[in-house]
């Protein structure tokens, strides 16, 4: 019987690339996103590879909408095996003291609460079924401090804490939870951030020992490895994929 994965933020960027990479392994995909256009595009691409896929629209900052995407996935596919807990936003790139309270609330709502809600409802299904695997999307800003992303960094450090603490509680129940910490990566979210802050792109590229941004396909390869049976003894880890960006920090 085919396995099933939920991918949040699956309509573009890391989420879309991960959904397609998992589909190459024959895994059915529940694509969750706020964007119907992007989400449905991913569904079409997954189905073209062979597996089944559905799109579920959700604002992950709302607990009821998170519960709904979990319930609909179980209703359609029968169960959940894997979860790429990925949906997130970066913010405007303003210095912290120039940031509006509304922006802080939005970033925390999507990145922090959205991730927690996802873990709460998906992990419940996985544990009740004897286990499964989760990958959370952290960031280089979740393992070091970075300029212009104070709120974003706070949420991504939070992702690291969620990852480790969930393992401490539920590894004995067959749950594996890891996080990926991408550095600057060529995704629509990062492009929008760099478009608003062009000096930051040059600074980022110069600060990466490999002298280039990462790609979403490179991150997707790591996500697929961590979720599938190839990584059974990796648990509670935060794996950096950043071309050496944080290696000396």
pLDDT in tens, 146-192: 888 999 999 999 999 999 999 999 999 999 999 999 998 988 777 77
CA 222 to chain centre: 12
Give the pLDDT confidence score for residue 191 in this predicted structure.
75
Q: Which of 82, 121, 152, 193 is catalytic?
A: 152
* Contact in structure between 242 and 146 (CB atoms under 8 Å): no
| Distances, alpha carbon 113 to alpha carbons 10, 24, 145, 158, 176, in Å | 18, 30, 21, 10, 20
Dist. CA 178–CA 142, nearest whole Å: 13
pLDDT in tens, 36-50: 999 999 999 999 999
Structural domains for the chain: 4-183+218-238 (3.40.50.720)
Give the pLDDT confidence score for residue 88 in this predicted structure.
97
pLDDT in tens, 91-128: 888 999 999 999 999 999 999 999 999 999 999 999 99
Higher-confidence residue of 197 and 153: namely 153
3-class state of residue 46 by DSSP:
helix
pLDDT classification of 59: cutoffs 50, 70, 90:
very high
> pTM here?
0.95
152 counts as catalytic: yes
Q: Give the HSE-up count for residue 132: Cα atoms under 13 Å, Cβ half-sphere.
A: 21
Answer whether residue 195 shows pLDDT above 90: no
């Amino acid at each position: 019987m085919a396995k099933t994965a939920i991918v949040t933020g699956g309509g573009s960027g890391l989420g879309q690339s991960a959904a397609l990479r998992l589909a190459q392994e024959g895994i059915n995909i529940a694509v969750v996103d706020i964007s119907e256009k992007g989400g449905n595009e991913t569904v079409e691409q997954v189905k073209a590879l062979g597996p089944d896929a559905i799109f579920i629209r959700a604002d992950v900052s709302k607990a009821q909408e998170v519960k709904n995407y979990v319930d609909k996935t179980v209703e359609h596919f029968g169960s959940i095996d894997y979860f790429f807990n990925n949906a997130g936003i970066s913010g405007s790139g303003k210095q912290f003291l120039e940031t509006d309270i509304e922006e802080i609330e939005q970033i925390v709502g999507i990145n922090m609460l959205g991730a927690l809600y996802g873990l709460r409802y998906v992990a419940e299904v996985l544990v009740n079924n004897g286990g499964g695997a989760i990958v959370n999307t952290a960031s280089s800003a979740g393992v070091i401090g970075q300029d212009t992303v104070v709120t974003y960094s706070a949420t991504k450090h939070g992702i690291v804490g969620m990852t480790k603490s969930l393992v401490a509680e539920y590894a004995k129940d067959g749950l594996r939870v890891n996080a990926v910490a991408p550095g600057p990566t060529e995704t629509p979210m990062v492009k929008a951030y760099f478009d608003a802050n062009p000096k930051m792109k040059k600074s980022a590229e110069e600060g990466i020992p490999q002298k280039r941004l990462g790609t979403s396909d490179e991150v997707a390869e790591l996500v697929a490895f961590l979720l599938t049976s190839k990584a059974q003894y990796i648990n509670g880890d935060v794996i950096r994929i950043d071309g050496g960006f944080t290696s000396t920090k």
